[in-house]
Chains A and B, each alone.
Chain A
Amino acid sequence: MIHSLFLINCSGDIFLEKHWKSVVSQSVCDYFFEAQEKAIDVENVPPVISTPHHYLISIYRDKIFFVSVIQSEVPPLFVIEFLHRVADTFQDYFGECSETAIKDNVVIVYELLEEMLDNGFPLATESNILKELIKPPTILRSVVNSITGSSNVGDTLPTGQLSNIPWRRAGVKYTNNEAYFDVVEEIDAIIDKSGSTVFAEIQGVIDSCIKLSGMPDLSLSFMNPRLLDDVSFHPCIRFKRWESERVLSFIPPDGNFRLISYRVSSQNLVAIPVYVKHMISFKENSSSGRFDVTIGPKQNMGKTVESVVMTVHMPKAVLNMNLTATQGSYTFDPVTKVLTWDVGKITPQKLPNLKGLVNLQSGAPKPEENPSLNIQFKIQQLAISGLKVNRLDMYGEKYKPFKGVKYITKAGKFQVRT
């Protein structure tokens, strides 16, 4: 399976390598660099590269390439999914999955990689088990360690690996027992020139933060579970219960985790909470163009649309932009040609507007296409699909936990064509 792993930063330095079988020379990465050069854009580096003796399967996360070396047939998704799991684990341990974080914690990283794979086959990937084996670094602990000389490696053996519920460690204790659920829905949409919706659907997740003592057995029910079209579960959820009763029944992992992700199909009409009026034009044979965009909330939403940000990838020919924003601030990066307008909150009384002139490279042909606008926004306390949590019951433990549910709607891949 996975033979070796190289971590490579954006400037092409291999800053970490780990081999699970015999050592593979760093030079194998040259094939990767070659492909990277050819692709120009980092996003276009093919995830699977074939070299004479090896196959390279890579992912790009947080400005780091995780390049794994494979020697024989393996499902590519298996490797990709695993590499993402590695990145998630780093994120979980160090708060960020960056080059500096990895370099600073290189020993922990190495210990983690050692536990996660055995001979290239995944061994322990559940964060709860890993945390039992190797404690994540905290400031307090590093101070204590330097004084007492103790270490991050847990001296307990990973009993979690032996249990029926490997995602939960035994003997969890909290003074405040709490269970929080964030219902986060993202709207993916493509709006065409005329403002009509080409495609829209809702992707939702329920992220949980569960801090409960003992072995609680939870069941979460919805007012309208039929709404959920396609659901994928954390392994802790009892599939049968969902099939028969549409109730999420599970013994939760300890801490933060994603309980389910779901999709509300495009068959249901999706309410689009904002509209965009735009006027972008480039004059023939002149080195300028006009840019005028207004964002407004759609009626009867009842909630404010917040954190609105618009990003536009302008055509290459654009040299600079002179705009005025009635609200928020805008920046234009002349190198990447990205225009970002941070609008903030939308108030229906005064619609935010960004307007002004676009300077084009003189002599260059007029761009044929108007750039599409990518919009981000957030609406608190609303699940746009109308999904509602009905109740949360806990069995198996005697105490009364504090339960909380939060709803957020966000823009996902929300694009307006112009």
Chain B
Amino acid sequence: MATTPPAAASSPPTTRGFSGSARKRRSRATALPPSPGPPLLAKAMLSLPPVQKLLRQLPAGPAKPPVGGDTAEEVTSPVLATEAGQPACYSALQVDELRLLAGPKPAVATSTGPSLRHDDLKEMLDSNKDSLKLEAMKRIVAMIARGKNASDLFPAVVKNVACKNIEVKKLVYVYLVRYAEEQQDLALLSISTFQRGLKDPNQLIRASALRVLSSIRVPIIVPIMMLAIKEAASDMSPYVRKTAAHAIPKLYSLDSDQKDQLIEVIEKLLADKTTLVAGSVVMAFEEVCPERIDLIHKNYRKLCNLLIDVEEWGQVVIINMLTRYARTQFLSPNQNESLLEESAEKAFYGSEEEDTKEPKAEAASLAKRKPYVMDPDHRLLLRNTKPLLQSRNAAVVMAVAQLYFHLAPKAEVGVIAKALVRLLRSHSEVQYVVLQNVATMSIKRRGMFEPYLKSFYIRSTDPTQIKILKLEVLTNLANETNISTILREFQTYIRSMDKDFVAATIQAIGRCATNIGKVRDTCLNGLVQLLSNRDELVVAESVVVIKKLLQMQPAQHSEIIKHMAKLTDNIQVPMARASILWLIGEYCEHVPKIAPDVLRKMAKSFTNEEDIVKLQVINLAAKLYLTNSKQSKLLTQYVLNLAKYDQNYDIRDRARFIRQLIVPTEKSGALNKYAKKLFLAQKPAPILESSFKDRDHFQLGSLSHLLNAKAVGYQELPDWPDEAPDPSVRNVEVPEWTKCTSREKRKEKAEKPFYSDSDGESGPTESADSEPESVSEESGSSSSSSSSSGSEEEEEEEEEGSGEQSEDKEEEEKRPKRKDKEGSRKAAMGSAGSPSEDEEEEEGAKKAKKKKAPPGRKSHAETSSEEASTSESSSSGSDSGSEAEAKRRKAPPSSRAGPKEISLLDLDDFTPPPPQPIPSSSIISTSLVTDLEGLTLTDTSLTPAISNNTDAEVKSLRVSEPKLLSGMRIQEFPEIERLAPGDTANVVMGIDFCDSTQAANFQLCTHTRHFYVSIQPPVGELMAPVFMSENEFKKEQGKLTGMSEITEKLTLPEKCRSDHAIVQQVTSAANVGRVPCGADNEYRFAAKTMTSGSLVLITLEQREGAVAQLTVNSEKMVIGTMLVKDIIQALAQ
């Protein structure tokens, strides 16, 4: 709010400045077009069908400007006037003819060239009949939809921007947004309409004006847009603010130089408390300044808490952003486990080559780590996102799933599996994306999906791409216990008609075989059987996989190799042939008889082979030459010679290289003797890995993850920090709410009937901010202890609003100057909370002057929570001039000595209420300034700040002789031993008013004097809000009829008729909570009195117009009666 006045102040000049330039523009715009204008018209005349020509000659005054709803600018524009003029005159007369003419139009269009084709449309647009305009616009929109160019209609369309008919207007907007970029000058004509719209009293019109204005991509209006966005960002209506958030990325894409200013707006909107705005502003944040993660700190808890009530699209954006945020701010919850897990997995798989040293080292490093404790904010995020797994929106579910995957402790990640499996029933596109992500997840966290293994079974009707992904998941999930089931399932798949799928299945079997040693032989046998399959692709795929498997086994499979050698005759797939050749070469010692023969055959067909096969032939030749040179020397020479003249230089190079290496010559280098070692070295077995391995470095669910490539604008998911950054950055300072707002807050919460009740969930350990929240909800029992620091608070208060500050000043100015004759000290006590309370002071030992502050109707005062009351204390004191007492009274609104952080969940979208009127109490200058900082403790507690403004020291300041009605109790503050001049002391005292509206009287004593103090609570503050449902409310109301019901009619003043105003006024008059209510024109509030806890129910029913009926139901009739008065007074203000 503080920012509103400057913004408002600055806006008029800028607008003016611009509209000047707009005018210039416009005149330029008008200067240009006349040239095309007349010829166009002339041509149009020529091409018109005879009837139309005739018509044209009919009207006498063709230059008349159009009538209708057009605005002044359009009329002044000569282009528009001429173009519009002629048709306008007769179209009014001949609507029906025009309609008829519209029919044969397209034929004319094709024959007469582009400039003329939309002639009839122009005429219809210029007519002053809305139905014709509508018809024309519909046809134009249909053209746009089909992707046809309708840009030449721009001038004719744009002048209808101010049309009264809503549908025409909307269609004009559609057109404008589409073509404004191409016709920037003309587009400017429409701007003023939107500027006017921005000032409309109706929020929806303001929003739509901003929406269209910001969608027009014309760089010249950037300043206007900027201004409009800034203004809308502080609009009263959350809907307009949402629109402002939407407009930010639009402006940013138009002119990225505005970034800094836009960030300011984003920062401001991020602080917004409404669910409506949250999603949109985070989206703007992500598009404009995703790197400014620091802007999130203060809003983090609020976003977490609001999340469940945000609309689904906003949820996705917020969750994704918060995932990134959390990665920068919290420690990894798995830092201990991850090590354990790794070593465990190693032990599981790599049992053969287990390294014994490593685990020990890890264990040592483990021990060193200190135990991990999750940041409460981290927990808050996890807890608040979990219910969203139940969303019907797949994108939300996926967003939560990725959040859990990236942020949750390992033990908790499992909860997402169920939801993801559920998505598999959805549309095939959704399945596709989900399966990709499941595939990635299942590599890291296999256990999570194991229970759902069967959900990934493949149906013959699944699309191939889905089948292959499911296969991937099944393979990832395979382990020793379930492998037999999976393999049985795979056997069904191998017989599928879908050959791509079969090939993928064979690969999958290969992977299972490499990963799970137990089944390796079974798989190998199965694959060998496939070698006799009729389908070549299947055989080829099997060969490739077998080759990989054989490499892992110590070579005892010569039978299989022999079998495969025979296949070279038949198999044509290059990869398979190459694989077989490689196998034979590698294990030629196991098949000494066959290998040379294969080489012979291959040498024969060498020239016809594919390149990869040729390379393997050379390889085979070299290996044979080294092991069995007797039989293969000549063949090798022959092959190498062929290769020497091959077209492919790779092959030529390889041949040359190998010849040098293996054939001993005089010149041959030192490597020659190692040739055998080089070629026949033990080769490590290949590892068959999932293509989804390591994809998780991309944020799951993102486009980049899906494509496995960084997409434009992708924000890296940062690694966990080693040391957690300071968590206190997320603490939220007490925002500057006056009393009333905080009450509204509460009421707001009560208003939210959906989901929000989950807020209550927050357990004691959970979030840091849940604590203050719960405190504020408790009825009055909270202790006053937190009303700490006067000074800080005061500062805050001072910032808080110009309103209150000026109050103080005003008061100070008014203060008559008095001379302090006696030099005695006086205490002025700002009575906390209620201005209406009396303050009595006694000055001097003998003179006791009592002054009552006028019972101004103000309600502040203690709420149950510490945000106690603003004390607009009416200081009263001796008015007697005889005392020359410089009594200064300062009444800083001592509100909320409340907790520094308050829960943001229930923050409202209301601006803080207007400053409370100041009781024009007579002011005495006192030397002691007493500030009542708040009322807390049991029912009511005050934390007055007592300051000594005299030049003498005050000693033993204490409360004495309280005169209380029965039942009232007062909690005195401990005696203040001494107070130096100019010092201020804060004390805490509590008063239990026992549900009575009587004042509490006591004396404030110093070592020399006594001051009478009287504090009277405003009735509205004797209660604390309670939350109840509509039904409970009705039930309770039914019990409190007759004597307990007080009804009063009232007339609502103009400004008090909106929901917002009524609720605000009522809640400012009394500390009540709003009860949800189905009916539009009815408002319900409920509260309980502090001491006895009896219910106070308020119903305000708005009748037609300004008449309203107020009903208060309460056992405490006095309270009820006074409350009625107070509320009526508040509403009448």
Contacts and interface: CB of A to CB of B under 8 A. Distances in A.
B325 interface: no
Interface residues of A, number: 106
A11 interface: no
Main secondary structure of the interface of A (DSSP, over half): mixed
Interface in B454-490: 454-455, 457, 459-461, 463-465, 489
Interface stretch (A91-99, A114-122, A291-299): A114-122
B702 interface: yes
A43 interface: yes
Interface string B160-171: 000001110011
Given A47-B433, A107-B142, A162-B239, A118 B497 contact: no
A44 B249 CA distance: 35
A198 B457 contact: yes
Contacts of A14: 147
B430 interface: yes
Contacts of B1028: none
A92 to B, nearest CB: 15
B714 A73 contact: yes
A47 B497 contact: no
Nearest to B131: A149
Nearest to B758: A240
Nearest to B387: A239
B170 A114 contact: yes
B250 A161 contact: no
Given A72-B713, A78-B395, A239-B390, A111 B170 contact: yes
B999 interface: no
B377 interface: no
Given A75-B399, A76-B433, A81-B394, A44 B463 contact: yes
Interface in A1-46: 1, 14-19, 21-23, 26, 41, 43-44, 46
Given A23-B178, A114-B170, A258 B495 contact: no
A188 B426 CA distance: 13
Contact of A217 (B178, B243, B428, B1078): B1078
Contact of A72 (B142, B455, B712, B755): B712
A245 interface: no
A199 B394 contact: no
Interface string B303-333: 0000010011100100010000000000000
Contact of B422 (A47, A59, A263): A263
Contacts of A335: none
- Residue of A1, A80, A190, A365 with most chain B CB atoms under a 10 A cut-off: A80
Interface string A359-380: 0000001011101101000000
A125 B313 contact: yes
A50 B239 contact: no
B518 interface: no
Interface string A238-271: 1110010000000100000010010100100000
B158 interface: no
A339 to B, nearest CB: 14
A238 B142 contact: no
Contacts of B714: 72-73
A395 B464 contact: no
A232 B707 contact: no
Given A21-B253, A118-B211, A48 B703 contact: yes
B1081 to A, nearest CB: 11
Interface in A62-85: 70-78, 80-82, 84
A151 B1078 contact: no
B312 A235 contact: yes
Contact of B534 (A157, A263, A365, A374): A365
Nearest to B707: A50
Nearest to A53: B712
Contact of B313 (A15, A50, A122, A396): A122
Nearest to A85: B393
A80 B433 contact: yes
B754 A238 contact: yes
B641 interface: no
B145 A50 contact: no
B316 A75 contact: yes
Given A48-B706, A157-B204, A233-B392, A374 B461 contact: yes
A197 to B, nearest CB: 10
A214 B247 CA distance: 35
Interface size class of B (residues with CB under 8 A): 35 or more
Contact of B395 (A22, A44, A75, A313): A75
B1036 interface: no
B755 A239 contact: yes
Contacts of B422: 230, 232, 261, 263
B572 interface: no
A76 B145 contact: no
Contact of B711 (A73, A199, A315): A73
B398 A77 contact: yes
A164 B320 contact: no
Interface string B689-713: 0000000000001111011010111
Contact of A368 (B312, B463, B495, B757): B495
B961 interface: no
A186 to B, nearest CB: 9
B758 A239 contact: yes
B751 interface: yes
B429 interface: yes
Given A19-B178, A164-B752, A239-B387, A74 B703 contact: yes
Interface string B1105-1129: 0000000000000000000000000
A238 B755 contact: yes
- Residue of B178, B253, B419, B492 with most chain A CB atoms under a 10 A cut-off: B492
A170 B464 contact: no
Contacts of B202: 157
Interface string B750-764: 011111011011000
Interface string A116-134: 0011011101000000000
A19 B179 CA distance: 11
B196 interface: no
A110 interface: yes
Contacts of B459: 190, 372, 413, 415
A408 interface: no
A273 B404 CA distance: 39
Contact of B1030 (A75, A81, A217, A239): A217
A152 interface: yes
A75 B754 contact: no
B454 A198 contact: yes
Contacts of A238: 753-755, 757
- Residue of B237, B311, B704, B751 with most chain A CB atoms under a 10 A cut-off: B311
Interface of B: 130-131, 134, 138, 141-142, 144-147, 165-167, 170-171, 173-174, 178, 181, 202-205, 211, 214-215, 217, 237-239, 243, 246-247, 249-250, 253, 276, 280, 283, 308, 311-313, 316, 320, 387, 390-395, 397-399, 418-419, 421-422, 425, 427-430, 432-434, 454-455, 457, 459-461, 463-465, 489, 492, 495-497, 534, 701-704, 706-707, 709, 711-715, 751-755, 757-758, 760-761, 1030-1031, 1078-1080
30 contacts: A19-B178, A41-B464, A47-B429, A50-B707, A50-B709, A55-B707, A60-B428, A73-B712, A76-B703, A77-B394, A78-B316, A84-B427, A106-B146, A119-B249, A121-B249, A149-B134, A151-B166, A165-B753, A203-B425, A230-B422, A231-B390, A232-B391, A235-B312, A236-B754, A240-B761, A266-B455, A313-B461, A369-B496, A371-B460, A413-B461
